[in-house]
Amino acid sequence: MQARRTNPERAEATKTALLDAARALFVRDGYAETSTPMIAEAAKVTRGALYHHYADKRDLFRSVLEREARAVAEEVEMRTSAAPLTPREALLEGSLAYLDAMAVPGRTRLLLVDGPAVLGAQESAALDEAHAARTLREGLEAALGRNPQGFTLPAVTALLSAAFDRAALAIEAGSDPAEFRSAVTALVERIVAE
Amino acid sequence: MQARRTNPERAEATKTALLDAARALFVRDGYAETSTPMIAEAAKVTRGALYHHYADKRDLFRSVLEREARAVAEEVEMRTSAAPLTPREALLEGSLAYLDAMAVPGRTRLLLVDGPAVLGAQESAALDEAHAARTLREGLEAALGRNPQGFTLPAVTALLSAAFDRAALAIEAGSDPAEFRSAVTALVERIVAE
DNA sequence: CAAGTCACATACAGTCTGCATGTTTTATCC
DNA sequence: GGATAAAACATGCAGACTGTATGTGACTTG
């Protein structure tokens, strides 16, 4: 059981175990109802290890969210850069790709519900900006051809991003995915339409 | 100090004191960082009184939110039923009235950030549906003339509602209110435009 | 006015978080 | 390759918080 492992390997394995266990419990019970003893037990380490690698429970939660946000961004990136698409096609494809990526169980709760409350709306928005929102704004800018009719680019990016998030939440809550996918598509088309 | 008060009067005064104190602290520190001893002290009652009137901390929070959601709905109602407006005018006026109502300090944090995390996305959405969303859907239905081009009424209601909320959050976070007010207006106009 | 109910106040048990201090495993140095 | 340092954990503990159980005085009702 105790194969001689290098230090970085040991640490990485422990951190991954903690991230995996924490993610599962945060998704199942929510941040507040998940205790660090529960996380440590599920990860098969002690609380000492947790507090060695993460400043506190909140820091561990932030790390879980960063990993999750990166995964979402990668999945969207993958889909939009696969085939050669016009800016408008890329925007529409990216929008649906985002909904698909957010359909992975737990992501809406982590990123959209508990995230803002635990990290604060500010920090949570910054995390979103660093991954999803930036991509969306660039896609919008390209598709709009730099003439946002009636609104500024940052504003329309924020409002559209919010609509996407709500769609993801609705789908997770059991609404008909097709209904919200076509609604998102129609909304984007109305935005980019002249 | 001990004016002879009737029981319902006593209870009502205590509950209001708790709601006021809890609202202020939930807004300032957030739900998780607010303790029941702090609330009781600020309300000048004991924790016993708190747990006599509310099942638990969460139940008190829910009561704060219900009062807040009702206030928002009333302010919007007031603005849209003041003058005789066409359905389309009422929808646009109601949208801006909602932004104004949500600009009351603390409301975005209570209703949009902490609410979903503490009560759960489900219950929080139900609260929203009972007040804001229902009004919005009816306004949309009237303005659209029952031909939602490309999306269903429930879906477009949800997406627009999310956009409004994000606009309120952006304004609270320091963004230019005029920028987001015009963006919201432009968005609504594109939705109801044929 | 006696009996009962309501509105609290107080005391307590169990749990949790974060830190301080040990212990073991890996790396470094000579 | 043995000693020393440093990283990676493990353990113990203090303070705080939540919810409940139980006690007490103010009000209400027959």
Instruction: Give the per-residue pLDDT at B152.
Output: 95
Angle CA(B161)–CA(B102)–CA(B96) in degrees, nearest 5?
Answer: 65
Mean pLDDT of B107-132: 97
Whether the predicted pLDDT of B22 surpasses 70: yes
User: Which pLDDT score, from 0 to 100, does residue A16 have?
Assistant: 98
On the CB side of B110, how many CA atoms lie within 13 Å of its CA?
A: 29
- What would the two tokens of residue A121 be? 């709306």
Mean pLDDT, range B67-77, rounded to an integer: 97
- Provide DSSP, A37-84: HHHHHHHTS-HHHHHHHSSSHHHHHHHHHHHHHHHHHHHHHHHHTTS-
Tell me how far apart the alpha carbons of residues A172 and A101 are, in angstroms, rounded to a whole number. 12
Is the CB of B86 less than 7 A from some atom of nucleic acid strand C?
Answer: no
Tell me the torsion sign for CA atoms A170, A175, A181, A186.
negative
Q: How far apart are CA A61 and CA A194, in angstroms?
A: 43
pLDDT band for position B1 (50/70/90)?
very low
- Best residue in A151, A182, A191 to probe B by mutation, most B CBs within 10 Å? A151
Q: What is the pLDDT of residue A8?
A: 84
Kindly determine whether residue B190 and residue A191, on different chains, have CB atoms separated by under 8 Å.
yes
Q: Exposed, middle or buried: residue B33 (CB in 10 Å: 0-12, 13-18, 19+)?
A: exposed
Tell me what the mean pLDDT of segment B165-188 comes to: 98
Q: Which of B121, B122, B150 sits opposite A186 (nearest CB)?
A: B150
CA distances from A125 to A101, A115, A158, B33, B113 (A): 18, 9, 10, 20, 12
**Over 90: is that where the pLDDT of B5 sits?**
no
Q: Which residues of chain A have pLDDT under 50?
A: 1
Provide the pLDDT for residue B170.
Answer: 98
pLDDT at A189: 95
pLDDT at residue number B150: 86
* pLDDT beyond 70 at B2: no
pLDDT in tens, A5-56: 887 898 999 999 999 999 999 999 999 999 999 999 999 999 999 999 999 9
The pLDDT score that the predictor gives to residue B12 is 94
pLDDT of residue A3: 57
Instruction: Supply the pTM of this predicted model.
Output: 0.94
Runs of H (alpha helix) within chain A: 7-29, 36-43, 47-53, 57-80, 87-102, 107, 115-128, 134-144, 153-172, 177-192
pLDDT of residue A2: 52
Least confident span in A144-158, B7-21, B63-77:
A144-158
CA of A111 to C1' of C26 (A): 37
Question: Are B183 and B118 in contact, with CB atoms under 8 Å apart?
Answer: no
Mean pLDDT score of chain B: 95
The whole-number average pLDDT for the span B49-53 is 97
**A182 with B151: Cβ contact below 8 A:** yes
* Interfacial B residues in 94-133 facing A (CB < 8 Å): 108-109, 112-114, 116-118, 120-122, 125
Q: pLDDT grade, residue B29 (50/70/90)?
A: very high
Assess contact for A188 and A99: CB atoms under 8 A.
Answer: no
On the question of pLDDT at B8 being above 80, the answer is yes
